[in-house]
Amino acid sequence: MSTPEIAVLRQKIHGLSAKDYASALRTRLPDTEIAVANTPAEETELLRSVPIATGFSMSTAEIKAAENLDLFGCVYAGVGHLDLDAFGENGTAVTNASGSTGPTSPSTFWGQCSRMSAGSNRPGDSRTETMAILPGP
């Protein structure tokens, strides 16, 4: 099995289980390998290798260990609970689900991933209203 591109963290998302959230993402991204860990140890391993993770939060230690993480998709509207300095030091962009609800979180996340891959939402881009883009070190 190859390294997944997206890790869905083991957190409930507006009442939606991580497995259901991953399933919704797989429907929208059929050519993308998406993984959900079953244990904290598996999640730690996933975070070390994936370029994209999504969930409610990541601890500072998890952020620092996620050396390949380019994007964290927070499933809640705010990012005040996240250690944005740690994400910035890690060179990880952060997006959130502002304006979406539980059932539409996968669509919002998918849309923001698409915008990122198309080169949108970089510092200075006027379309960054839902993104907290953090410069690398």
Report if residue 1 sits inside a domain: no
Write down the pLDDT at residue 16.
Answer: 82
CA dihedral 56, 42, 47, 75 (to 10 degrees): -20
- pLDDT recorded at residue 122: 47
Report strand pairing: 52-55 vs 6-8. parallel
Residue 73 included in any domain: yes
Per the CB < 8 A criterion, the answer to whether 110 and 25 are in contact is: yes
Q: Which residue has the tokens 């390949």?
A: 68
Number of domains comprising the chain = 1
137 belongs to a structural domain? no
Q: What is the CATH number of the domain that holds 125?
A: 3.40.50.720
- The angle at the Cα of 134, spanning 45 to 109, to the nearest 5 degrees, equals 65
Kindly state whether residue 18 falls inside one of the protein's structural domains.
yes
- Domain boundaries, position 115: 6-132
Residue 76 maps to a domain? yes
133 HSE (CA, 13 A, CB side): 17
60-90: per-residue pLDDT in tens? 999 999 999 999 998 887 888 999 999 999 9
> Which amino acid appears at position 108 of this protein?
T
Instruction: Identify whether 41 is part of a domain.
Output: yes
Residue 63 within a domain? yes
Positions of the chain with pLDDT lower than 70, given as ranges: 1, 98-137
- Tell me the whole-structure pTM to 2 decimals: 0.72
User: For strand 34-36 and strand 6-8, is the pairing parallel, antiparallel, or unpaired?
Assistant: parallel
- Helix-, strand-, coil-residue percentages of the chain, each rounded to 5: 35, 15, 50
Q: How many angstroms from the chain centroid is the CA of residue 46?
A: 12
Let me know if residue 58 belongs to a domain: yes
